[in-house]
Chains A and B, each alone.
Chain A
Amino acid sequence: MVLWLKKVELFEKAPDSSSAGLSKVGLDMEGSYPASEVLIRISGLNAFYGQLQVLYDISLDIKRKSVTVIMGPSGCGKSTLIRTLNRMNDLVPGFSHNGRIELDGKDIYSKDVDPILLKIRVGMVFQKPNPFPISIYENVAFGPRIHKMFRKKEELDRIVENSLKRAALWDEVKDRLQANAMSLSGGQQQRLCIARALAVQPEVILMDEPASALDPGSTSKIEELIVELANECTVVLVTHNMQQAARVGNEVAFLYKGRLIEFGESPGIFENPRNQLTEEYVSGRLT
């Protein structure tokens, strides 16, 4: 399959900034924007669980190779929003939405988009570290194996090593790659999950409160990592931790009760919020 070879190419070189990576997994058909700054464009998004509306008319542009933070208090719909970006919500019974989400100008919910291939382009890391109960090596190798992204064992070894290095975990685990992933600490497990997501070379990594279950030391490691990752791919981070948003975000969206209240560059949005609600939130008066 051509697709197979193209996926292999992904590992021959790191993905670069242009649209070179786009044609690789089938989302590139018509309507591509010229390689613009905007990678993901959300317009007029409403989302529902059954009858309950959780997102109201969200419009948001997410820039390439930057960290876009979606912050807001619990229950504001930020997790729902991030989960529409790789169609994880497809799994949830009763979920529906309208509006448009474009990845490189292509509607990701259109019929000719394969949700499987979309998830290769848009990886995800969850709130609770969720490594599989298998070896560290096999966790990272999981995606490449499923999607047959290598021809030789050495290539897979290289993918695993590179991914673990990019997730800043290699030095800690290189001597025990065959150990069970469950033997790692919580912070290590979360970095392993990041490595697992990176192993299929996604263009976008979605992170849903990736540090909220971790201790402060592990949290700062994850934050460093997020900033680092933004050099190579696009990170969308959900957090309820304002300080974290300020530390890692290039652009910050403030979501409140399902509505996008304010969207702007950091630190501007913290220093000079335009909206009353944002001001209350960043000053800790809104919970």
Chain B
Amino acid sequence: MLLKYKSFIIMLGIMFLILPLVIIAQASNTVSTISFSEIKDRTPVDVKVSLINSSSISRIQIVYKSFQETEFRVREMELLGDIATYQIAAEDVSAPMLTYYLIIEMQAGTQETYPLGVPDAARPIDLTVSTVSEKDKEILILSPGANETVSLNDLFISISLVNAPDDVDISKTKIILNGEDISKNVMFAGDLLLYYPQNFEGSVEGGEQNLEIEVYNNDGELYHSIKRKFTAVDAITASNIGSGFRFYGNVAGEVRNEAFNGAFTLYNNIALSLNGAVNDWKFKGYGYLTSEENTSVQAQNRYSVSVESSWMKLRGGDSYPRYNNLLLNGKRIRGVNGIIDYGIFHMQGSYGEVRREIEGKLNNTFSKDNTPLQSNVIRIDSVKYGNPFGLVNFGVHSRKLLAGRIGLGGRETFEMGVSFLHAKDDANSIEFGAKPEENLVASTDIRLALDNQRIIFKTVGSMSVINSDITSGTYSDEQIDSIFASGSELGGDIESFKNIKNIISPFMTVNQFVEPLNVGGASSLATETSLELNYFNNNLKGSYIYRGNQFKSFGQEYTRTDVAGLNISDRFRTFENQLFFTLGYENLNDNLQGTKIATTTFQTLRASVSLFMRRDMPNITFSYTNNKNENGIEPTDSLNKFLSIDDITNRFSLNLGYDFNLKVKHNTSLGFMISNRDDNSFFNNDANYFSTSFTLNSYWTRAFVSNFSAIYYNSKISIVKYKYVTLSLGGRYLLLNDNIELSLNYSPSFGDFNRHAIDFTAAYQMVKNLWIRGQMRYYAMANASANIISGITVSYNF
């Protein structure tokens, strides 16, 4: 049976290789590579994006969602030089799939996505989310603990296989420490394996240690392997841990030259991080200075200092405070962010600048008589510039944000909190800018957990007020009378407007640009309520959302508004957590305030089956999604046909992952995705996508690892066809006792996306902890000049 299966896998591989058009990496003008840490259910995922021509990029956002959800979360990534990073929170990572794409905003004001064309001309990328492997629970490294720092005198390695199945041959277990097989020195005590390095002098030296355990079945085939890192230190260093002041850090400097479309740009940057601790108090400092910093773009330098203990955290400088998803979550603030968690009492406060001022540019001036009617022609100081109107490129006002939350209770049982956000542009910060705005949001949140977290009820409600032009300040009652009385369409709301003004004017500017005018209409209300039940191997979750069309929080600028509806999903696991079924349905609609000519319903049905076998078989995930959007307007409607929405999208995907031993260890993945959109609206914008990808990583020796990948992409949107194949071949090689690391990757793309890319990196450890690293990236696009990024980085850990 096993042999049959292997043959099938090999056949699949061969079939794949002989496909006439094979593919690879995603097309992009700005993204070189994107990497993820291990993607496991309910585990944080670190995302790292390497960029091409990073100086042209002003901001990067990652947009992601789990399979059970239909709404994407938009989060700003930390952009430092040519690297952007973000950590996706554990609660947002859910098996079987994580879907993502990137939004890249350019300094020139344009924007693109990765992959190019999302959502209209390309699909976001699916990543398989594995569940915590049952095999991981079967192989227990009792000692050392993960990332533990342990004295060499006290060091011992202990592996427990008491939970391993009967077909595991414990005597064949290999224990590899820092690349060296030490199995012959291991003592077996039943299902417990013990290794005492003190019995083998010189077998372990101080420093970071890499431990790998390989467990084999009775047939001698690799059953599972796990890794762990820990640090061994001498007795004196170990005794200092936990007492007195201790610190460590890193300093790195980079010189980088980017030759892009014939233009050369030189960048210099330096980064310093310091970590210190005394008793239970931890201190961190971080600074990043770059030659890219200039006043015509948002801040490129980064700095922060923080102190934290078991009950408080305080961070100054750049921070990314997290409140609820409707208020503020992950936006960069330059100021201060503090959190206190003392028993059942919780408090958080954040204040700082979310964007700095960038002055606009006056291009031309006009007299009153010849002023053109354009949105970027504004009134200017006629005494200063000779004319009363000017054609400008708009700048950006500086914006400060204040947020806070007070909460009572604990996550184990019941917690509730109230929070607020106030953000305001500084109208005087620049001379030529668009209208300065102000935003006030109030929010409450409740979390109730019962029966040992098997029942979780959560609700968040927020109400916002926004002023889209605060230039004139708060109006008096007399001004309101005169302005509103003269406008017949607003005249009837004078008293309610005055009432609103009296209530909120102590907190924000109130004039005729305040929205909503009618609070009772719930147009600025946003709520999310969910109930989660975890019983009988089911994770059943039902939720309801409501977002009025005027809800706006400057802390979460990409929240989808004018939508309401229900979402229900269930994930069922069986066969000892080896088989997972997911089923979900969502029904949303817009036009909550009746501001549109028709109401659109958005229905989504999702189903998936995942197989995570403990045996020597691939992990398989098959998923199906059906989206149906419809607003009832006929495409033949002569008046409203351009507003008609009527489309159905069917999407299937199959992902396989397989680790196997063929002479050496390999891991592979193979994915297929097919999507078909049938658009019956006036536009008839049918779309078909097909993509497949294959990756193979081979661990030839501890020092040599190779990788191969191929992607094929084929789409047809309306009448536009787009097709390409990308291959990638590379490897990493360590030599001279790991003091030199070489890596090379060549990635050609053919078809409508035609590019050849070479990445080469050489790193050398000159003395302990002092590394010099050279990097060269070469990109040649069809009908464009070759682009080369070359740089040298020196870093030192202390």
Indicate whether A and B interact: no
Interfacial residues, chain B to chain A (CB-CB below 8 A): none
Q: Which residues of A pack against B, CB within 8 Å? A: none
